[in-house]
Each structure stands twice: as C-alpha cells, then as structure tokens.
Amino acid sequence: MEPAAVTASASADGGAFLEFVDYAISVITSSGGDGSESPGAGPAPARPPWGWTVAQVLKSCRAYSSGVTAAILLSDLFQSWTEQRKSLTAKTKVEVTSLLNTRSKRRRLPTTVTIDSIHEKNFLSPKSVLEAVVIDVFVLPGTNIYMLTLGDMWSTSTIDLYLHRRYYNYIGQHCILKKGREVVLTGCCLRTAVVEGSGHARILPTEYMVILLDEEKDEDAMLLAAQFCTYSFSSMMEEKSRNDVVYSFYARIEKIETLEPFGCTERKQIVLVDNDDEKIKFILWGEQVSLANLFRFISLYTSFNCLSQAIAS
C-alpha cells in the first residue's frame, strides 16, 4: 500500500474513533442530566470529560481483545460514569457537611431555595434567598474573574457563582471570603449558556451578599473587635463632622419596618441597637430592601450618616 493510502486509512480510522467518542458523550449526557461540564454545576459534571471518555473507551477495547460492539462500549461507559458521579456526589456531600458541622445550625429562612431545586427547575428568582457555604474559590481560566463554588446542607449538588467585583478585596490568604465561609445572598439571576451543545448553569454576580462571621472562632472574633467595635452610636452622634467620617460598627437588629414609598422607591427601616443599648435607624432604598430578608445580626462598614439620625445605605 502506498504511504499516502496508509495515512488516509489511519486518518479515517481516527476520525471514526473521535466521532464515536463525541457520540458516546452525547448519549451519556442526554440520559444522565443537564449536560453541564462546570465543576460547580452538580455533584459531578453531568457531561463526562472528553479525556476521561477516551481513556474509558480504550480501556474497554483492551479488555475485549476479541472484538467489541458499540453497544457494549456504551454500556460500559454509562456504568463507569454512573459510578463516578455517585462517588463524587458522596464526596461533595461529606465536604459540605464537614464544613458546616462546627457551626451552630441556623433555621432555614422562609424564602431560601436549595441548589438542588435550582438545577431541577433551571430557574432562580431574584427575590429568592440562597444560604450556602463556599466550597472553592477560583479564577475562571483565561480571565481575571473570580468564581465561588457554593454548596448547601440540604443539597447534594453545587453551583458556581460569578463573584461581584465589590467583594474581590475579601479574597486572599488572610481574607474572610474563603473555603468554608458561610454566605447568604439574594438578588440572583441564573445564567444558562450553551457550551458545546449542553446547558451550563451559573449564578450571575449579585451585590446583595452577606458574609457570615462566627464569634466562636478566634479569627472572626478578632476581626469584629478590630474592625467594628471602634464606634458606638452615641459617639457618632457627638461627632461634629460626622458626615466626613467613615464609620463601622457592630449592632443587633431590634425590628424591621416597611416605610411609605419615596415616590416610586420602596423603603424599609431597620432599628439597630448597639452594645450600649443606643438605637439608630438604618434605611434601605429600592432594590436594597431585599437585603432585609438576610439580616439577623449586622456589622456595617462605610455607611452614610444622615442628619436625621438615620443611616442610609
């Protein structure tokens, strides 16, 4: 056989093999989930990685030295992928549980949705609340965009969040937004893009995220003391140039009230009490009112002090 003919034959065989790999991936994906390849889109990617599929096909071909049919290869692939997903699902659930088991168990908020339900419905309302724990922090390959992989204690799956840039300063070796940190967020929208013909669900950036600190942990207790216990409400009232000062303080919520709209702008008022039992009013405007669903205890940073002794966010 001429060299050119040998090359053409090898190329044809290679093309048929690659076509079968792509076909096998599409079959497994269509029968096993939404097809997402994101590491945070479920307990394991519903779409098997291309390299993994090639390796499994070659392994099966070696095992059936006398010959093998496409149906047998597909059966072996499906079984191997199912076992792989079950294993990764169990590992993810154990990891989320271990990250949460040292925290006091909080009651689930009324408007909280689970990550499993997001994947099932392929929908997330901006008014919904997501209570989650950070499983991983990573940079989207080829970009400078930070992503969080989130899990929750009620789900076996995880999901990726595009982190809003206002929170980038909280990422780093000695910063608070890291693996194991609990967060509560709202104002979220789901992004479903088409990646190689499959659905790929991620949460778009939201400004409305609360990072939970634990007073029982030394690191968090030191942060609260250093950053939020400098000012009391009474000292803020006594400042003559208070509008030129950046305040941060720690307080508890006494009550949350709905105010009359300002024109077409919705408003809510949160009555705060500090450690000296002094009270002050914290005002939420417009889209910020959704934050009221997240608050239990609150630390405020760079708030704006109004002359009416109310604080506007």
The CATH number given to whatever domain includes residue 263 is 2.40.50.140
Final residue of a structural domain among 171, 187, 211: 211
Contacts 24+ apart (CB under 8 A), 24-27: 24/53, 24/57, 24/73, 24/74, 24/77, 25/50, 25/53, 26/197, 27/74, 27/78
Provide the whole-model pTM: 0.62
Final residue of a structural domain among 211, 245, 280: 211
Q: Residues 205, 252: one domain?
A: no
Residue 91: what pLDDT?
58
For residue 107, tell me if it sits in a domain: no
Residue 143: what pLDDT?
84
Report how many domains make up the chain.
Answer: 3
Q: Which domain holds residue 306?
A: 218-312
Final residue of a structural domain among 150, 176, 211: 211
Q: Residues 271, 199: one domain?
A: no
Instruction: Assign residue 150 the CATH number of its domain.
Output: 2.40.50.960
Residue 72: what pLDDT?
81
CA atoms of 118 and 64, how far apart (whole Å): 42
Q: Residues 188, 162: one domain?
A: yes
Residue 219: what pLDDT?
86
Strands across the sheet with 182-185, in order?
A: 190-195, 198-203, 158-162, 146-151, 130-139, 182-185, 209-211
Q: Residues 138, 201: one domain?
A: yes
Residue 206: what pLDDT?
94
For residue 110, tell me if it sits in a domain: no
Contact in structure between 133 and 96 (CB atoms under 8 Å): yes
The separation between the first and the last C-alpha atoms of the chain, rounded to the nearest angstrom, is 79
Q: Residues 44, 124: one domain?
A: no
Q: Is the dihedral of CA 132, 137, 140, 144 positive or negative?
A: positive
Please state the separation of Cα 161 from the chain's center in Å: 4
CA-to-CA dists, residue 118 to 81, 100, 179, 216, angstroms: 23, 21, 22, 32
For residue 106, tell me if it sits in a domain: no
Q: Residues 232, 179: one domain?
A: no
Contact in structure between 24 and 74 (CB atoms under 8 Å): yes
Residue 241: what pLDDT?
54
Quickly tell me which residue has 């499983």 as its tokens: 135
For residue 104, tell me if it sits in a domain: no
For residue 181, tell me if it sits in a domain: yes
Per-residue pLDDT of the chain (313 residues; tens, 9 = 90+): 444 443 344 455 567 888 888 888 888 777 654 333 444 444 445 678 888 888 888 888 888 777 778 888 887 887 777 776 665 655 566 566 666 654 545 566 677 899 989 988 888 999 899 999 998 898 887 789 999 989 888 888 888 999 999 999 999 877 889 988 999 999 999 987 543 333 468 899 999 999 988 888 888 888 888 888 777 888 776 666 566 677 788 888 888 888 888 888 899 998 988 888 888 888 888 888 888 877 754 444 444 444 334 444 4
For residue 36, tell me if it sits in a domain: yes
Q: Is the dihedral of CA 158, 159, 162, 164 positive or negative?
A: negative
Residue 207: what pLDDT?
92
Residue 189: what pLDDT?
92
Q: Where are the beta strands (DSSP E) in 100-246?
A: 130-139, 146-151, 158-162, 182-185, 190-195, 198-203, 209-211
Q: Residues 132, 195: one domain?
A: yes
For residue 205, tell me if it sits in a domain: yes
Q: Residues 227, 273: one domain?
A: yes
For residue 109, tell me if it sits in a domain: no
Q: Residues 165, 193: one domain?
A: yes
Q: Residues 51, 14: one domain?
A: yes
Q: Residues 182, 262: one domain?
A: no
Residue 13: what pLDDT?
58
Average pLDDT of the chain to the nearest whole number: 76
Q: Residues 306, 252: one domain?
A: yes
